Amino acid sequence: MSRIEDLLAKMTLAEKLGQLTMTASSYAVTGPVIAGDSTESIRDGTIGNLLNMVGADHVNEMQRIAVEQSRLGIPLLIGLDIIHGHRMLFPIPLAETACFDPEAWERTAREAAREGTADGLAMTFAPMLDVSRDLRWGRTAEGSGEDPGLAALMAHAKVRGFQTADLSGAESLAACAKHFCAYSPVTAGREYAAVDISERTLREVHLPAFAASVKAGVETIMPAFTDLNGVPMTAHIPLLRDYLRGELGFEGVLVSDYNAIGELIKHGVAADLVEAATLSLKAGVDIDMMANAYRNGLPIALERGLVTMDEIDTCVRRVLQLKEKLGLFDDPYRRGAKPEAASAITARRQFARDLGARCITMLKNEGEALPLKPGVKRLCVLGPLADAAADMRGPWWAAGEPEGQVSVMAGLKSGLSDVEVRYATGVGFDDGDTAGIDEAVALCEGAEALILCLGERASMSGEAASRAYPDIPEPQMALAKAAIARARALQIPVIAILFSGRPLVIPWLAENADAILAAWFLGCEAGNAIVDVLSGRVSPGGRTPITWPRAVGQVPIFFGQRPSGRPMDPKDYFTSKYQDVPNDPLYPFGHGLTYGRFVLSNLRVTPETVAERQEIEVAIDISNEGKRAAEETVFLFTRDRVASVTRPLLELRRFAKIRLEPGQTGLVVMKFPAAELSFLGADLEPVFEAGDVEILVGPRADRADLLTASVRLFANVDD
Ligand code: GLC
């Protein structure tokens, strides 16, 4: 008999339900704290999993109680939200997506897993795969933007990076694809609000990344807090059982979100914990995080015949199988047994710095305000984010300590040490106090450039951080307007550096600053990466993975919208438009300037006609006509103008990167299977239709910047 079946045969009900329970330790607070000390429960086997604990010594202390003092010695599974780094923080996921480099995405997960396992952890609650098109929603920061294909690529990269090919390895973490699913389109962008979307949107936008995570071998999946079209995800039998386990064949562990089973009562689908526990168990949720619904509710549900012991055993089996795959039975102390080499830590920090520059998204750069002129002697740096080291972490900082982060001021001090920097915060974050503006603005005198560090603090995005006005807080705008007026009088350039976990609505700044860098939240090397870009040592490489609207009233705004029967026509009043804002965004998906100047030419597509089983090859010449070396990102979109259902105005198919020296010309070739041009027909079944499809290639999701060609699809030609 296998170890697991042998254990199952011996386990009491209380011990079984312990394996289905995950309780928070107190290292990090990621939800309503309702748990106390778990030691006794670990010893008596009624808690089998923990979250929010850090440190190999603490973890091993708890592990030793479970393995050596409990009756059956089943090791603990201990997880943490290692979202964008563990001790050494990388750019937040939305920022990291901006580098459009899946190898880098995988590497940050790998590095984070090394640090997390060094702290004794065996599981992370990442990657977050929510596709977001609503910047009011604070958790946009945790995902990879507006495109489902991008989220699917991120899923693949992160699962491989966290789990590696050997899940039992000392440096491997079980990944957790979350939050399943369609959490991001919460009503009005308000956190935790209800979600109501079409089956088409669900399948076209919100499922692909999770399918990719299962294909990549993700070991756990976390249902979202939200209710989808009236059914809370934590009890969603059609999607948890029939789709994930049935259609996708997912055999891993479903772990509820924090107290989400208990919250079925507040959703109004369960009268008490017994009913809540029954609903979730029937849906196949294996682990109850922080609700104690399984421990306290299932014994009664069993007595009442609402659930069966087989159903409980099925969940326990999956949890024990995960622990076995992690190697926890063979060696529960394997993770964290060996401290990391100093060289690995040094290399990791350098990687974080290099990656930071590649994620910085230069939204504007007029009059070559950037890079700063060589030999610059005096700068004026204003704003509450200039020396806010802790805020460089962004939301979800795991074990990243505030003092471990490099601020802009620290970066200037080390990276431009011979430059005199005159600095003031000017205004605070929350107090609305603008009394310091005049004194701050006076520092512009004699400076050769004004740098404004503005935006959100780390707590203004992430979970429970929806904003109805996702802009730069008013006191900071008062500072910006006064300082820019002074800079204009002094005829010095104005560089705005924005820190945020989402696009910000910045129409005035977009008009009045000479250069704008979206620095998102870049993690531990933020200040150094920013100064590498300011100084011109490195060209910014980021491309925004999410559309920047002109006004929050345009939201949801994204490049994959459908055409409408009355598309905008300035010559026709009765067409799709606003009275007060243009339809187009301030910055489209993919926008991001570099210190090069790239020209695309000679787009060619082969073959001209293609059957479903063939491959389409797209080639384009690209030259750097600028004065500096830079890395360009080129996007390949398609447009299916006539089909049996309305089709998106643009669909992202591939992207590629190329680094060119000034004057250098290169060739970019992108290939993709014609079968990817199939879509969900009116009956929501996949269909591949004959007809012409546009191929569009360029630097951003703006037709005016795209070279176009066309390919003809044949639906029934044997190739
Ligand atoms: C939080 C989040 C989830 C996280 C979990 C554990 O509420 O919704 O993303 O993984 O609880 O911290």
The answer to whether the CB of 93 is under 6 A from ligand 1 is no
Atom of ligand 1 nearest to the CA of 176: 10
Distance 697 CA to ligand 1 centre (A): 38
Q: Higher confidence at residue 432 or residue 138? A: 138
The answer to whether the CB of 257 is under 6 A from ligand 1 is yes
Q: Residue 371 corresponds to which amino acid?
A: P
Confidence band (pLDDT; 50, 70, 90) for 322?
very high
Count of Cβ atoms closer than 10 Å to residue 476 Cβ: 26
Taking only the tens place, the pLDDT of each residue in 406-422 is: 999 999 999 999 999 99
Structure tokens at 12: 């009491």
Taking only the tens place, the pLDDT of each residue in 620-635 is: 999 999 999 999 999 9
Distance 627 CA to ligand 1 centre (A): 46
Atom of ligand 1 nearest to the CA of 28: 12
List phi, psi (to 5°) of 275: -70, -40
Mean pLDDT, rounded, of the chain? 96
Structure tokens at 372: 């700063």
> Average of pLDDT values for 166-177?
98
Q: Residue 36 has what pLDDT?
A: 58
Longest CA span, the chain: 83
The answer to whether the CB of 30 is under 6 A from ligand 1 is yes
Contact 634, 542 (CB under 8 A): no
> Average of pLDDT values for 54-58?
90
Q: Residue 126 has what pLDDT?
A: 98
> Average of pLDDT values for 561-577?
97
User: What distance in Å separates the CA atoms of residue 463 and residue 547, rounded to the nearest whole number?
Assistant: 20
Distance 26 CA to ligand 1 centre (A): 14
Pocket mutation for ligand 1, best pick of 258, 261, 288 (most atoms within 8 Å of C-beta): 258
Contact 314, 321 (CB under 8 A): no
Distance 126 CA to ligand 1 centre (A): 10
291: which residues sit within 8 A by CB, 6+ positions away? 256, 259, 260, 261, 262, 263, 273, 276
User: What distance in Å separates the CA atoms of residue 21 and residue 275, rounded to the nearest whole number?
Assistant: 17
Q: By alpha-carbon position, which residue is closest to atom 8 of ligand 1?
A: 257
Q: By alpha-carbon position, which residue is closest to atom 12 of ligand 1?
A: 30
Q: Residue 678 has what pLDDT?
A: 98
User: What distance in Å separates the CA atoms of residue 394 and residue 83, rounded to the nearest whole number?
Assistant: 11
List phi, psi (to 5°) of 403: -75, -10
User: What distance in Å separates the CA atoms of residue 319 and residue 429, rounded to the nearest whole number?
Assistant: 44
> Average of pLDDT values for 698-704?
98
Q: By alpha-carbon position, which residue is closest to atom 10 of ligand 1?
A: 125
Contact 261, 294 (CB under 8 A): yes
604: which residues sit within 8 A by CB, 6+ positions away? 618, 619, 620, 709
pLDDT for residue 719 is more than 50:
no
The answer to whether the CB of 142 is under 6 A from ligand 1 is no
Looking at the chain, the whole-number percentage of residues with pLDDT higher than 70 is 98
User: What distance in Å separates the CA atoms of residue 540 and residue 534, rounded to the nearest whole number?
Assistant: 9
- CA distance from start to end of the chain: 52
User: What distance in Å separates the CA atoms of residue 372 and residue 369, rounded to the nearest whole number?
Assistant: 7
Confidence band (pLDDT; 50, 70, 90) for 31?
low
Taking only the tens place, the pLDDT of each residue in 182-210 is: 999 999 999 999 999 999 999 999 999 99
Query: Is-cis flag, bond preceding 238, omega within 30?
Result: no
Query: How far, in whole angstroms, is CA 585 from its chain's centroid?
Result: 21
Q: How far is CA 340 from CA 114, 117, 344, 494, in A?
A: 8, 10, 7, 43
Structure tokens at 530: 């920013």
The answer to whether the CB of 81 is under 6 A from ligand 1 is yes
The answer to whether the CB of 234 is under 6 A from ligand 1 is no
Distance 546 CA to ligand 1 centre (A): 23
Atom of ligand 1 nearest to the CA of 142: 9
Confidence band (pLDDT; 50, 70, 90) for 718?
low
User: What distance in Å separates the CA atoms of residue 392 and residue 602, rounded to the nearest whole number?
Assistant: 42
Atom of ligand 1 nearest to the CA of 128: 9
User: What distance in Å separates the CA atoms of residue 175 and residue 219, rounded to the nearest whole number?
Assistant: 6
Distance 222 CA to ligand 1 centre (A): 9
Q: Residue 715 has what pLDDT?
A: 80
Count of Cβ atoms closer than 10 Å to residue 215 Cβ: 15
Atom of ligand 1 nearest to the CA of 30: 12
User: What distance in Å separates the CA atoms of residue 418 and residue 412, rounded to the nearest whole number?
Assistant: 9
Q: Residue 433 has what pLDDT?
A: 86
**Alpha helices per DSSP H over 185-225:** 199-201, 208-215
Distance 146 CA to ligand 1 centre (A): 21
> Average of pLDDT values for 318-346?
95
Taking only the tens place, the pLDDT of each residue in 629-674 is: 999 999 999 999 999 999 999 999 999 999 999 999 999 999 999 9
- DSSP states of 679-699: EE-TTSSEE---EEEEEEEES
Report the DSSP pairing between strands 598-606 and 615-624: antiparallel
In 53-158, DSSP assigns E strands to 77-80, 123-124
The answer to whether the CB of 130 is under 6 A from ligand 1 is no
Whole-model pTM: value is 0.97
Distance 290 CA to ligand 1 centre (A): 11
Query: How far, in whole angstroms, is CA 374 from its chain's centroid?
Result: 36
The answer to whether the CB of 31 is under 6 A from ligand 1 is yes
- DSSP states of 407-457: PHHHHHHHHSTTSEEEEE--S-SSS---TTHHHHHHTTTT-SEEEEEEE--
Contact 596, 626 (CB under 8 A): yes
pLDDT for residue 1 is more than 80:
no
List phi, psi (to 5°) of 113: -65, -35
Taking only the tens place, the pLDDT of each residue in 502-524 is: 999 999 999 999 999 999 999 99
The answer to whether the CB of 258 is under 6 A from ligand 1 is yes
Q: Higher confidence at residue 522 or residue 431? A: 522
Contact 642, 697 (CB under 8 A): no
Q: Which residues are catalytic?
A: 257
Pocket mutation for ligand 1, best pick of 183, 257, 397, 461 (most atoms within 8 Å of C-beta): 257
